[in-house]
Amino acid sequence: MTRTIDFYFDFISPFSYLAQLKLPDLARRTGCELVYWPIDIPEAKIAAGNYGPSNREVAPKIKVMMADLNRWAAKYDVPLRFPASFACADWNCATLYAREQGKAEPFVTAAFHRIWGLGIDPRDRGELRVCAAEAGLEPDALVAFVESSLGQNEYRKVRSKAYQRGVFGAPMMFVEDQIFWGNDRLNFLECYLNQK
């Protein structure tokens, strides 16, 4: 039976972008299925009882975080540009449509590249349509799903189940009863998978 890596992420998270750069290959190397679960980080924090400010509101923390992000981007030899906005909820929802169509990995990869690699504005529906096409999806159908009550309700249910499972931030990877939080825990994840 194929084991599953449940990957909880939010497109507002640059650390989720970094994790996605490595997770698909890690899953293939270890014979696992990678399943994409979009969440909403601010909502997840509140659900977990964390009412503190966002990283962007704590100047000393953002300074260190920016240095870390730039170091990771250099290590992976990838571009890193902050997006023009953090309005990523529709992109998160779109992941569920992509998953239904068997295109979650190409969609998530293309979306992270556009948002954090190119720094596009996620509010731009044209960008979402381009991303859908890049992933082999029908852009109008993807946008219709995002704008439908069906799509929004499905996204709400996925988030609720994630918080009930203990998801409090992103990126988080769950394998069986083990939880790995952060792109810097991928080595621990791979070690765990190789021990079994």
The residues annotated with a catalytic role in the active site are: 13
- Residue 46 CA to residue 167 CA, distance in Å, equals 11
- Residue 72 CA to residue 93 CA, distance in Å, equals 27
Element (H, E) at 5: strand 3-9
- Residue 54 CA to residue 183 CA, distance in Å, equals 18
- Residue 179 CA to residue 50 CA, distance in Å, equals 18
Cβ burial, residue 43 (10 Å; 0-12/13-18/19+): middle
190 Cβ neighbours under 8 A, 6+ residues apart: 26, 29, 30
- Residue 72 CA to residue 17 CA, distance in Å, equals 11
